[in-house]
Amino acid sequence: MVLYLIGLGLENEKDITLKGLERIKESKEVYFENYTSKLQCSVKDLGKLYKRKIIIADRNFIEEKSKGIIKKAKKESISILIPGDVFSATTHIALFQEAKKYKVPVEVFNNASILTAIGITGLELYKFGRVASIPFDNEKIKTPIEILNENQKINLHTLFLLDLNNETKKYLSIQEAIEYLLKNKIKKETMAVACARIGWSDYKIKSGTLEELMKINYGDPPYCLVIPAKKLHFIEEEMIAMWNNKA
């Protein structure tokens, strides 16, 4: 049978594609990977609209028990629902590889991702460099700063994804991300764009210096932060000005 990897998009249960929904209906079991990102809806909301029992698959389940799911998918079709787009978190590549290894057919249903939806800031997508993730325990972590410096050298934008844990309802805040950057000698005058709930109806985007962005209340997660390249196209400049905190 088939392993269906279905992207759910950014906001809620209604962002699924029609094709994805059809495959859910054909599946014997439906899993929901809920640890790489946060949607606005609950698992109950997903189950209600899709009219299926939804099994929560946490990090341990996806990373340790993926072989079990793949073996099941050999006999009966299984859907795995993934927030955002399917391959925008590295862990799902392993599922795909595993399925191929066991000769289980895989079908992928793409959806919106933070990696493209961030285009709403007005910063050109093809001018983003390597993406950096800021983890909760970041005392000794230098990689995000190295990525920022590399990107800045060749005039590219840097997207910082901020750690989250849906189980404990813990989300690294924009303030914590800025504190991390300041502690690592990024200047408080650096221009940045702070984003919350992109793709949701109540999204919030603010531009300003790190010092200014520190003082804003962004509401609920998920959050991310962008440090734009030093040299911007005039349309990028206009858009950044539009999101300015004072505007």
Q: Which residues bind ligand SAM (CB under 6 A)?
A: 10, 36-37, 83-85, 88-89, 113-114, 161-162, 164, 195, 197-199, 222-224
Q: Which residues partner with 143 through β-bridges?
A: none
Residues 196 and 203: beta-carbon distance below 8 Å: yes
Q: How far is the CB of 234 from ligand SAM (least distance, A)?
A: 26
- Nearest to ligand SAM of 58, 155 (CB atom): 58
- Nearest to ligand SAM of 26, 57 (CB atom): 57
Give the single-character DSSP code of 222. P
- At 55 the three-state DSSP class reads strand
Give the single-character DSSP code of 125. G
Residues 30 and 54: beta-carbon distance below 8 Å: yes
Residues 223 and 187: beta-carbon distance below 8 Å: no
- Nearest to ligand SAM of 84, 129 (CB atom): 84
Tokens of 58: 């946490």
Q: How far is the CB of 33 from ligand SAM (least distance, A)?
A: 9
- Nearest to ligand SAM of 89, 210 (CB atom): 89
Q: How far is the CB of 75 from ligand SAM (least distance, A)?
A: 28
Q: How far is the CB of 101 from ligand SAM (least distance, A)?
A: 23
